[in-house]
Structure 1
């Protein structure tokens, strides 16, 4: 059996009956538009005549359709499996060559209609990101396409348009005259194509229920089956901006946003909001906060006073809802910022947690605004009637640094954190702050698909982030791009999102990555060069039809991010070399200028796409934030130096930061420490010009084992001088150590260079990571043994975190031990390391940002050295307050995207085994670094890179 939708330039008609929901009819028209865009033929929509005809598409909603019952009886189809289900649809090829789409409810029917679009290769962003579907001459569905959809994993799934100025706001005013129904029609359609059903509308300067014009926004949302709600500080279907429109000394609502002094005015204000908008489908926000996202009673009020007042307010609000809207209306209380403290209370003040006044209310939990889970429902709390929601962020306007430009949310982290929320029982509402929505299409797709089908993308699928990116690339570009082009898009998306995850563009500074230590600035720049080169190369081969989509989804965010990164990397080098007096500082200043111009040009070109269709959407500031917001943000400082009037050369060992021009008075010595690693036989000495003219130099070296890359040369800017060591020929070792000297000589001075060497490591195990110069580093996935426990096991999370990957124990809801004597029962990872000297070492554990997931709880793991008694390692310091800008520990963690835990350990000379045990939820290890006491670990953004294994 097959159902022909389009063939030979003829299209099957869509059949609907009297009483069809208006929203279903509207979506049918949009799907007909999709068919036309794919095939060039637009199907007609006709009325049901009471008889089943061949080659038609029948669209029905159970409980509102005699047609579906007649078709089911004639075709022998069982519809009972749909009855009572939430948002499900049957997609059935009929025996007579027709197609039946039957929804269990309005949204189910709409999802079924958009399933046609999905099968035709139409992207959910066909309009919002201009993803043009590939043309097809015919559309035919076979019996294998027949299916019944599942119920969504999360009941309410959606996003919050927020922080909408200057980008989204300017765009919608210039194209739609404001936050109107015409604009929201595009937003609603995109949400439904993503299988979402829930929206918090823009609210900085707009009122959803007034700007349609009038109630047209709310009416249209209800027509489509979109469940509307309001943000955490907008109760009773009122919008934040509405209050300023109606308040006043002579207003019936009063003038003060204070329940203590204006109780009757606020009750009337809330009642009128419920009477106006309660006829539509909503989740009604309850509770109260201060104006403009502030405290309700101010800093001086006690916890007890706040809780008591909030109870009174909620009681009155729920009474109003019953009177004005009805019984059992969905209600939500957001436990955001200070409200969370009111919910839990403290040792002396009971909170709202056990108060029966919240029975049936969905409790909206919130991460820390930077994508890291905070308190999650305990097993006891999960029985709460009303369930739990999660408010997540891809965009944030607040301390310590706002992020509102292109996507900086990394799929592996989103997957890790949101699967944790789901596994902890947060399954009723998922809402994500997407800012302007533009440039968040990729992470939003994942967020929505994870919420819709957790069984497919959830915690049982460790490679879900990688698999999803491949799926997303194919969905958006597969109709036009060859496999090699799709692979390139995959790499570009992966690289730029990880780069922005490691440091959000707004937060990046000239010193985020050190200009010389570990060569990390050079490595970042080379990665950026590869990213930009691959993106530019791919752009040249993109079909014309897909150029706008490629620009919007890939080119602008990737190129803009790489350029913003380069700008700060050049600034770091400019500052470093200017302090040295090297002429190359001026070159880096010019490169900063070029990056600034490129940033402006990229924005201009984006705004010109499709005759300015998205003009305004790229206006968000994104460089050089010095405050939490964009106030006083600035481009990097550019320092220009005046070259010396006499010959001058500076020298520096690669990766080091000591430089000298070889003067008699300063007598600085350049030490090349790279050869302390027995595997290194070649390293680099860096030469920098400091004069107006080129300066000749020559090398003086007496050792036959030291081979400079050249013995003479001329430098005026930067030069890399390679130095080789003939390790195999050295005969004069001194207790496995050796030093050699040479000099770089020029007219202005003689630069002394000392080379330090270590001989091979005696008896070092084949898989051991060995110490060089008192330090070593191991990526978390490079354990030698992964021991499962009865309660769970560690798993490697590919590409997680700032460097290579992460390891985490599952089930992720499990606390594997509480007391130190229980540690050995937990899952264990063993790492093998080798050090030359016994003694005290600092073990630096780089872990994913983590907050306690239970009120008053902690995050910890276990550690044992060489089989000794394990220690319980607490990761959370006293006084820690997640989400509080005044907490320096939290602020540093979220900006750096890493938590650093330092543990003092005693190591023996030679081989050592380090055991890491799973502890609480939230512990996710990325890297281990060991530093011998007395040694200094150089500053850097990513820490000491992984050192070598013996056999590598």
Structure 2
């Protein structure tokens, strides 16, 4: 009894009866004491002590003082609408405590809210964890925060965006997807909502600036926006952008690179656009080729004369400095009161080469002058350089200039890029990692250009995104991540993954990225169906790894692989059809947009291309079979058109009219291919061929097959040898067969050939007959991390002298084109087997950033049976 007294601080003078009652009360209260220490969550059934968001058909009001930034009020209204979507009851928005009810939701920004300041002063809330932090927030339930207020659910942000993210966290916990409007993802209906007592503290984000680049918008977003959103101006304008900016906040993003194609007027042309961005707290930037927030395709090429009442001379700084300087400075003056990020340097008007000097040395000297003048503009108009976020993007020819010695201002952020197909070209070396401006990444989910566009469906897997972006982060790219999302749709899951990873890079790493599809499916469609949806999504992405739907007109598969792909996609479509029967009516539209359309579209594209090829192959041998194949090809084409029409006109009375096209840029692959029996062709589908001949001729690229004497996937090793502070990890969803191995983390040592004995390795056992073979090693087509590193493998056969292979291929040429289109790079060595039996192949992973996918062994011609 004395021990119990000491444990619970019970005075000695208390009687046994009193002590027994106190202990019973403690035992009874224990679950609630422990529960109060838990993370806050939202449920649909009442519990003791829970905060009522909606109870008995009554919604709790949301208090947002008018002293907060406008985005806080906008977000509160959106959350109120979200709660209405779930419950049918809409919380009212109030602006002061005078009318506060017993229960109250309070949202405010630290330093901008008198109500929050009162809670801090009265020690009702501790905000030290978010004080002076970037975009952080805290959510907590508080009992008796003010007179007449029994309980409050309080959302506090460290800044205006932090508060907005905190408010949208309430929606997300209640079951509202970030894609509630953009993909018609309706939440599970609930009659009541309660917040269970606890608290959440979130932030700071891993990456400071996180956003999207709307690009390739001519065929989808622009066509839709002028019909359904900004119908007066018939363009992408403030109504469209308000929905885009809300989506960014729901995804915890903070930055936009606006649309800038020929068919789209400049973002700044419509004066409401930057005002809307500011209302939503979104940072305005511009693409890698549009300097100083200008959009050159429109503003220099089409609108300069209207803006300045004179014709523009050549966009060439060495001959036309005065016009260009004024053109840049005027935008800085216009943008000075907005939150912005400036792209510095110079490119041609349409992302072409810089006009002027023809030598690298001359271009570098000119860029030195341009940097100086751009920074002079900042000094003159913005009161200095230090508080002006600037980026420089060494992309295309500019990367060559940077590698040749171009000196970029120390405080500007270097924005590294992928090669347009998801593989980052270069990252910061040890010296560059010391720069005060740090670095970031510009990454593609959609691309227009050589060797071939991919503008229709999105097929870049979370595993690949994670592999490349985790590597970037580990080499210092933490200042800015921007994602080219094309038309936004149909890149929903992949966009969310990129931005989720930018928010918390440790949560989603290469080892677990393949699980993201299930996490996302659970959030979008509910946990019960999430495993099956994830299985479909992951298989869809895996099949596209060695053949995107848009690239099937170039890739050459053997007959067995064609049949295998057709069967695999048919099985996926069957899964979709079975699953569709389980989807609730209120989820049907979202399921079609997010799962059904891309899976069926990709599958039907494979059927169309391959059956057309088969019909041509048998046309002179078996006319009846050729006709059968031709009709299958045409049927697939008709289904693609029908599905696309439904997407545009059949969902919610045509909400998405023109958002999706099955033939962006009218490339030949989207039309009806030539078949062996011309009479069954749809004569209306004449689509022009477009190739980028810098990279491709008309020769098809051989895709991966498995008709070999032996095939070993990289994960099938017998033994592995790791080194200190590193692992050799398997990555699901990456590479041929959906599995690759790599060294992790990425910032480990790079071993030279002379240090092979110190390098990690894996071993494979092969059973081969006597003879001479070709050993083909297939890897992901990644690039060496930076100068001084490579992508080197060392290969030994039965412990003989090693052979070294460098898989780095930095040039844009036909070899690179083949690699990125088929999803792998390969190199071969000769293998001579003197005695039948076990052959041991040891592969040393000399460098990080190289993902090994598959080993294929094939007998040479004279040794084939």
Q: Could you tell me the TM-score, scaled by structure 1's length? A: 0.78
Give distance in 2, aligned partners of 1:631 and 1:385: 47
Aligned 1:787-826 pairs, distance under 5 A: 787-790=721-724, 792-818=726-752, 820-826=753-759
1:828 equivalent in alignment to 2:761 = yes
State the 1:574 CA deviation: 1.5
Residue 211 (structure 2) aligns with: 158
State the 1:195 CA deviation: 0.5
SS at match of 1:537: helix
Residue in structure 1 matching 2:179, options 125, 146, 149: 125
State the 1:50 CA deviation: 6.9
Residue 243 (structure 1) aligns with: 300
Cα 1:297–1:271, aligned 2, differ >3 Å: closer, same or farther? same
The more displaced of 926-935 and 589-598 is 926-935
Give distance in 2, aligned partners of 1:87 and 1:389: 18
Is this contact kept in 1: 2:137–2:157, CA < 8 A?
Answer: yes
Cα 1:258–1:283, aligned 2, differ >3 Å: closer, same or farther? same
Give distance in 2, aligned partners of 1:29 and 1:773: 60
SS at match of 1:165: helix
Residue in structure 1 matching 2:202, options 125, 141, 149: 149
1:230 equivalent in alignment to 2:286 = yes
State the 1:39 CA deviation: 0.9
Residue in structure 1 matching 2:480, options 429, 438, 456: 429
Is this contact kept in 2: 1:795–1:809, CA < 8 A?
Answer: yes
Residue 508 (structure 1) aligns with: 552
Is this contact kept in 2: 1:824–1:870, CA < 8 A?
Answer: no
Is this contact kept in 1: 2:418–2:443, CA < 8 A?
Answer: yes
State the 1:786 CA deviation: 1.2
Residues 328-365 of structure 1: per-residue CA shift (max 9 Å, x gap): 210111111111111121xxxx322xx5xx12111111
Give distance in 2, aligned partners of 1:261 and 1:937: 66
State the 1:525 CA deviation: 1.5
Give distance in 2, aligned partners of 1:433 and 1:641: 40
Residue in structure 1 matching 2:660, options 608, 614, 618: 618
Cα 1:340–1:244, aligned 2, differ >3 Å: closer, same or farther? same
Residues 254-293 of structure 1: per-residue CA shift (max 9 Å, x gap): 3221112211011111111111122100001111101111
Is this contact kept in 1: 2:395–2:416, CA < 8 A?
Answer: yes
Give distance in 1, aligned partners of 2:189 and 2:125: 33
SS at match of 1:781: helix
SS at match of 2:494: helix
Residue 124 (structure 2) aligns with: 76
1:601 equivalent in alignment to 2:642 = yes
Cα 1:17–1:793, aligned 2, differ >3 Å: closer, same or farther? closer
1:874 equivalent in alignment to 2:806 = yes
Give distance in 2, aligned partners of 1:936 and 1:555: 47
Give distance in 2, aligned partners of 1:632 and 1:469: 29
Cα 1:304–1:936, aligned 2, differ >3 Å: closer, same or farther? farther
Residue 11 (structure 2) aligns with: none
Give distance in 1, aligned partners of 2:211 and 2:496: 11
Residue 606 (structure 2) aligns with: 565
Residue 694 (structure 2) aligns with: none
Cα 1:157–1:207, aligned 2, differ >3 Å: closer, same or farther? same
Residues 278-324 of structure 1: per-residue CA shift (max 9 Å, x gap): 210000111110111100136x7110011010111111011102212
The more displaced of 49-58 and 197-206 is 49-58
Residue 888 (structure 1) aligns with: 814
Aligned 1:732-811 pairs, distance under 5 A: 775-790=709-724, 792-811=726-745
Ranges in structure 1 where 5+ consecutive residues have no aligned partner: 643-771, 939-952
Residue 113 (structure 1) aligns with: 167
Residue 90 (structure 2) aligns with: 42
Residue 260 (structure 1) aligns with: 318
State the 1:381 CA deviation: 1.2
Residue 534 (structure 1) aligns with: 575
Cα 1:285–1:907, aligned 2, differ >3 Å: closer, same or farther? same
State the 1:467 CA deviation: 2.0
Residue 546 (structure 1) aligns with: 587
Residue in structure 2 matching 1:56, options 96, 100, 104: 104
1:183 equivalent in alignment to 2:240 = yes
Residue in structure 2 matching 1:907, options 833, 840, 863: 833
Give distance in 1, aligned partners of 2:766 and 2:267: 63
Q: Could you tell me the TM-score, scaled by structure 2's length? A: 0.86
Give distance in 2, aligned partners of 1:641 and 1:183: 44
Cα RMSD (Å) of the superposition? Answer: 2.2
SS at match of 2:501: helix
Cα 1:106–1:937, aligned 2, differ >3 Å: closer, same or farther? farther
Is this contact kept in 2: 1:583–1:641, CA < 8 A?
Answer: no
Is this contact kept in 1: 2:415–2:442, CA < 8 A?
Answer: yes
Residue 362 (structure 1) aligns with: 413
Larger Rg: 1
Residue in structure 1 matching 2:391, options 304, 322, 332: 332
Residue 36 (structure 2) aligns with: none
Give distance in 2, aligned partners of 1:540 and 1:456: 33
Residue in structure 2 matching 1:284, options 342, 361, 364: 342
Residue 852 (structure 1) aligns with: 784
Residues 514-564 of structure 1: per-residue CA shift (max 9 Å, x gap): 22xxx2222212111111111122223322211111111111111111111
Residues 64-99 of structure 1: per-residue CA shift (max 9 Å, x gap): 122112123335321222211010111011113211
State the 1:575 CA deviation: 2.2
Give distance in 2, aligned partners of 1:181 and 1:773: 55
Residues 583-642 of structure 1: per-residue CA shift (max 9 Å, x gap): 3122101111111111111111111211111111111516xx9xxx82796421110399
Is this contact kept in 2: 1:237–1:284, CA < 8 A?
Answer: yes
Give distance in 1, aligned partners of 2:635 and 2:800: 57
Cα 1:210–1:821, aligned 2, differ >3 Å: closer, same or farther? closer
SS at match of 1:363: strand
Is this contact kept in 2: 1:510–1:636, CA < 8 A?
Answer: no
Residues 367-421 of structure 1: per-residue CA shift (max 9 Å, x gap): 1000001111112210111111100000001100001111111121111111111
Residues 36-87 of structure 1: per-residue CA shift (max 9 Å, x gap): 1111111111122379863101111011122112123335321222211010
Is this contact kept in 2: 1:791–1:816, CA < 8 A?
Answer: no
SS at match of 1:583: helix
Cα 1:45–1:508, aligned 2, differ >3 Å: closer, same or farther? same
Give distance in 2, aligned partners of 1:922 and 1:156: 25
Cα 1:147–1:563, aligned 2, differ >3 Å: closer, same or farther? same
Cα 1:633–1:5, aligned 2, differ >3 Å: closer, same or farther? closer
Give distance in 2, aligned partners of 1:376 and 1:35: 44
Ranges in structure 2 where 5+ consecutive residues have no aligned partner: 1-48, 145-150, 680-705
Residues 854-880 of structure 1: per-residue CA shift (max 9 Å, x gap): 13753211111111233322224xxx5
Is this contact kept in 1: 2:425–2:810, CA < 8 A?
Answer: no
Residue 351 (structure 1) aligns with: 406
Give distance in 2, aligned partners of 1:450 and 1:468: 10
The more displaced of 200-209 and 228-237 is 200-209
Is this contact kept in 1: 2:792–2:806, CA < 8 A?
Answer: yes
